[in-house]
Structure 1
Amino acid sequence: MAYILSISIILLTALLTGKIFSKIILPPVVGQLVAGIIIGPAILNIVKPTHLISSLAELGVILLMFIAGLESDLKLLKRYFKPSIVVAIMGIIFPVVGIFYTSKLFALSNIESLFIGVIFAATSVSISVAVLKSMNALNTKSGVTILGAAVADDILSILLLSVVITFTNGGSAQGNPNIILLILMQIGFFIFVWILFILVNKFKIKLNRTLAPIVGLIVCLSLSALAEHVQISAITGAFFAGVLIGQTKYKESVNRQMNQFGNLLFIPIFFVNVGLNMNISGIVENASLFIVLSIAAIITKFSGAYLGSRFFKFNRLSAAEIGVGMISRGEVGLIIAEIGLKNNLISANYYSTIIASIILTTILAPLLLKPIVVKIKQI
């Protein structure tokens, strides 16, 4: 029953650090990340990452993205579809190329360098969403573009991952489906979601309001599971589920219940779990790689997203908000890195260093994002 004490410690430290960081005008989620570093193997080693904690954390990020979908303005998402796609594409090309050549400087193989580039091509918008949501900046022009670009980025990154694994024969031992079949399955997923949108808009669903949150949660988990089945991140399925439920008259009641349900347990565990995965020894052993890789990861993702948004006439401050909002690699980067390790596409010697760089980008993103949003609101 040791896991009960671990969860209790996680929730207590998340609460305390969140409050402390709020007092010093920093995002509470950063405090929760720091809590994970303090109580985890990196410093005090009171709580260690476990399969249970990781599972609860995964539910946390699914709920977070479901809530983001619920609170998203579909009209704005449609309006800024084109800039979102361009930001996503440029936000992938720059890191893949930049990280590839950065890795080559440290004498890594072509395959390993390419795969590390794929890892840092990913974007996890979960933490940026939490910051934008807390500042009522989610349904702004920049906020919607970040959301749309992150979803597109996630889809494109997973497709890129599938291609790399297939053509390097990394996935053969894991029983991955043929790349053509996989792409067809992924296309089928989006067609299915599109059909659901048509049905929801055509038929007015009537539910008991007390049952609506449960039905919403079932839809969220079902689409998340289906997305994972076709090797798209679960958070993409959760986001679309949120947007789907957001088209019904039950949006407000589901949103209220999910916020209470998620923030009570799962969402704080997700943020703390990111910090729990920090490994100081991995950084020390490859300090130079860690520093250069982290800088390259930040610059390449920011540059790609910034230039993509400037192409669509966003002003410099809004483009900077989008660039910074896309920096975080979070759980998506962690998942891809784990897949790479299992498929022998990255060596165990560099795994901890890569994880540390992912976590650093995840921590820095909200720290850099908040002052930009504040400045935009002051204009």
Structure 2
Amino acid sequence: MDQTLINLGLMIIFGAGAALLAQRFGQPMLLGYVLAGLLIGPSVLGLVPDANAVVFIADIGLILLLFIIGLELDLSKIKDVGKISVALGLIQVVVVTIISMLLALVLGFSIVQGIYLGLVISFSSTLVVVKMLTDLKEIDTLHGELVLGILIIQDILAVIGLSLLGTLGTGSTEGHGAGTFFGILSSTVDLHLPGAVMLLANLAFFGLVAFLFSKYVMQRLFKAALGSAELLFVVTLAVVFILSYLAGFFEFSLAMGAFLAGIALSSATYSHDILGRVKPLKDFFLILFFVSLGMQIAFGNFVNQLLLIALILTGTLVIKPVVTFFTLKAFKYNNRTAFLVSIHLAQVGEFGMVLITSGAAAFASNPVLTGVIITTIITMTLTAYVIKYDEELYMFAKPFIAPLDHIFGTREEEHRNVPDKYRPEIVIIGVNPMTAETIETLAGKRKILVIDYNPSKIVTYKERGIPVICTDAAHAELYDEIDWTNVKTLVSVVHEPLRNQYIIKRARDIEHDPKKLAVIVTAPTEEWGRKHYRAGATLVLIPDVMGRRMLSELVALDDPASIRNVGRVYYEELHKNFVFIREL
């Protein structure tokens, strides 16, 4: 049997098993793939003695990954994340890269190697962080939106770095592009152009060729292929590899061409069809890519790379969080938001391993892949617990960083319009589709006060004259500022259970009698619901429990007409919520 097929089979079998174990212990599947490669590689079992035997297949996974990133990266997203996220992402990457590069130079690395290592440290893991924030329902919070915006900018910069740094992989730009149009022209007429000029000329000419191809050739190919799903799939792959070949011809990374192909197709009406057909293929080859990375871990180099591991861990767990934190403070975000964003980004991302792999030539005399993979495994593992227990970590750090809010100031006063001597009847903490409808229903009829620490969620209410406060519900001063004389109901839809516990406690400190002050909060699980009731909540809303009870009652009716009437009511409610969300 062909040894290559045996190798591929072993990679898939062990990759699947390790991914299942990683998922079982709450870790990213990516780590499972890397550990599977380590297990079957030459360093442990030696089932696949030569990782280079399948490296060309793994490279296909990298090309398809960059194509998918380009396809999903609609350029309009840059507008969606806002100018602040763009500025935060740029500042964080540049500052962290420069500091880390200087440390690398002190340790004896070259400038090009220092740039590579600096970028490895500065880029975080979009795959891991976004999944965990989504699972924990933090993606729509202020810190979640900021993290997502910074990650989008990081991904764009990572692709640019991956494309351009490949031209510096050898550490020399002299004679760059000898096999390209400009290289052949300069050698023919005996014209010796500086390497930097050749690089810029190749970049400009490649951009022109790619633009002409996408405008006059690619669009026609896809129009001809739209009638057949199979043909659309084949044409997509052909376009990806054509642009990858063009990038390689101009001595840029093959992945750069794939990324540009994705960007060119991202705004097309049929981009979702392409994504659905190519993504499973990308997932398959990407498994092989990360398994092959694990196979390249060499324990013989481990001791030699301890200093490198210490450098990357210091940069990732200390320098990057500190830079991110103080950058956010400079933009006047409060301590909690700055702290949560900084710790959520404290890991080496998947692009770190990709960058080091593509820049292997730059580290020919000093291999660093093992150190990068080990630090990626360590930091990604820590991230799973850091994000899960982020509130507890913040509460621990809160006393130490409390003075910084007074030193730097906060943005909250920009979104505060509570009239003097205002006595609300209902206080609503947190804005989501549920409370948005409540606010719309009560506005103008009852005296309400809306509190949320995400300015984008309450600015509309401020413009309409509804009293709002932009602050953290855990600020002790907040409860002293509110006149509780006429407050009959306090509603909190804050997603963090510990914060709801604090809100309930403060509410009961103000008014012990539940008949005078009703406290309504949400809870993610029944266990937290019981804790909230014990803490003094009047009503705890648990989506799973409410849905389960309603389903039981509807099925018990055994009346299709009644179920249809309920469905019609909920359809109308969904439409209302859609309108509220769009306005917010």
Identity of aligned residues (%): 20
User: Rg: which structure is higher?
Assistant: 2
Letter in 1 for 2:125: S
Distance 2:82 2:249 in 1: 26
Unaligned runs of 5+ in 1: none
Partner of 1:243: 263
Partner of 1:128: 125
Distance 2:208 2:327 in 1: 27
Distance 2:124 2:59 in 1: 14
Distance 1:232 1:309 in 2: 35
Using the TM superposition, give the Cα deviation of residue 227 of structure 1 relative to its aligned residue in structure 2, in angstroms.
3.2
Answer whether contact 1:328 1:361 (CA < 8 A) is retained: no
Using the TM superposition, give the Cα deviation of residue 246 of structure 1 relative to its aligned residue in structure 2, in angstroms.
2.7
The partner residue of 1:293 within 308, 311, 323 is: 311
Letter in 1 for 2:377: I
Report the more deviating stretch, 365-374 or 65-74. 365-374
Answer whether contact 1:77 1:145 (CA < 8 A) is retained: no
Partner of 1:143: 148
Partner of 1:267: 286
The partner residue of 1:362 within 366, 376, 382 is: 376
Partner of 1:34: 35
Partner of 1:22: 23
Q: Structure 2 vs 1, CA of residues 363 and 312 (structure 1 numbering), >3 Å: closer, same or farther?
A: farther
Unaligned runs of 5+ in 2: 184-194, 392-493, 497-584
Matched, 1:181 2:201: no
Q: Structure 2 vs 1, CA of residues 74 and 287 (structure 1 numbering), >3 Å: closer, same or farther?
A: closer
Instruction: Give the secondary structure class of the aligned counterpart of 1:76.
Output: helix
Distance 1:195 1:183 in 2: 18
Letter in 1 for 2:307: L
Answer whether contact 2:166 2:253 (CA < 8 A) is retained: no
Instruction: Give the secondary structure class of the aligned counterpart of 1:271.
Output: helix
Distance 1:54 1:37 in 2: 15
Letter in 1 for 2:265: I
Letter in 2 for 1:283: F
TM-score, normalised on structure 2? Answer: 0.53
Higher RCO structure (Cα 8 Å, ≥6 apart): 1
Distance 2:208 2:133 in 1: 32
TM-score, normalised on structure 1? Answer: 0.77
1:86-165 alignment, distance < 5 Å:
87-88=89-90, 90-105=92-107, 108=108, 112-123=109-120, 128-131=125-128, 142-156=147-161, 159=164, 162=167
Distance 2:227 2:327 in 1: 45
Report the more deviating stretch, 69-78 or 82-91. 82-91
Report the more deviating stretch, 85-94 or 22-31. 85-94
More helix by share: 1
Distance 2:165 2:176 in 1: 19
C-alpha root-mean-square deviation of aligned residues, in Å?
Answer: 4.0
Give per-residue Cα distances to partners, 1:16-70, cap 9 Å, x unaligned: 1111111111111111111111111222222134434111111112212322333
Q: Structure 2 vs 1, CA of residues 158 and 235 (structure 1 numbering), >3 Å: closer, same or farther?
A: closer
Give per-residue Cα distances to partners, 1:320-353, cap 9 Å, x unaligned: 43454758511212222x22245xxxx2xx32xx
Using the TM superposition, give the Cα deviation of residue 224 of structure 1 relative to its aligned residue in structure 2, in angstroms.
2.9
Using the TM superposition, give the Cα deviation of residue 357 of structure 1 relative to its aligned residue in structure 2, in angstroms.
1.9
Answer whether contact 2:15 2:287 (CA < 8 A) is retained: yes
Distance 1:287 1:38 in 2: 20
Answer whether contact 1:63 1:238 (CA < 8 A) is retained: yes
